[in-house]
Amino acid sequence: MRVEGAGRGLRARVLIRPKAGILDPQGVAVERALPALGFTGVANVHVGRLVELDVDDPDQLEPMCRRLLANPLVEDFEIIVG
């Protein structure tokens, strides 16, 4: 359900990544696929998620990430506003 007039304030992006040191099988699969296409010299591939949203109060972004958008036990998140 989208609420008219809500969340029109600021454009924000949240980047969510697997924490360093935790096996990231998607990253490994992509890293192995690239050389097969002739792209060499690629290392440390990690696959995460991007959440884009409009928010009235950017201070809510961090609690949103902690409670829902990311799982802080296994993921790091980065908030980019504007």
Partner 1 sequence: MRFAVLQFPGSCDEVDALRAARMVGEAELVWHRDRDLGGADAVIVPGGFSFGDYLRAGAIARFSPAMDAVVELARDGGLVLGICNGFQVLCEAGLLPGALLPNANLRFTCRQVELDVVSGRSVFTSACTPGRRLSIPAKHSWGRYYADAETLASIERDGQVVLRYAPGCNFNGSINEIAGVCNAAGNVFGLMPHPEHAVEKLTGGSSDGLCIFRSMQLALEGARA
Q: Does 1 bind partner 1 (CB under 8 A)?
A: no
3-state secondary structure (DSSP) of residue 81: strand
Q: State the binding string over 4-43 for partner 1 (x if CB under 8 A, else -).
A: --------------x---xx-xx--x--------------
Separation in Å, CA 30 to CA 15, 16, 20, 26, 57: 19, 17, 17, 6, 36
Binding residues for partner 1, rule CB under 8 A, total 12
- Nearest approach, Cβ of residue 29 and partner 1 (Å): 6
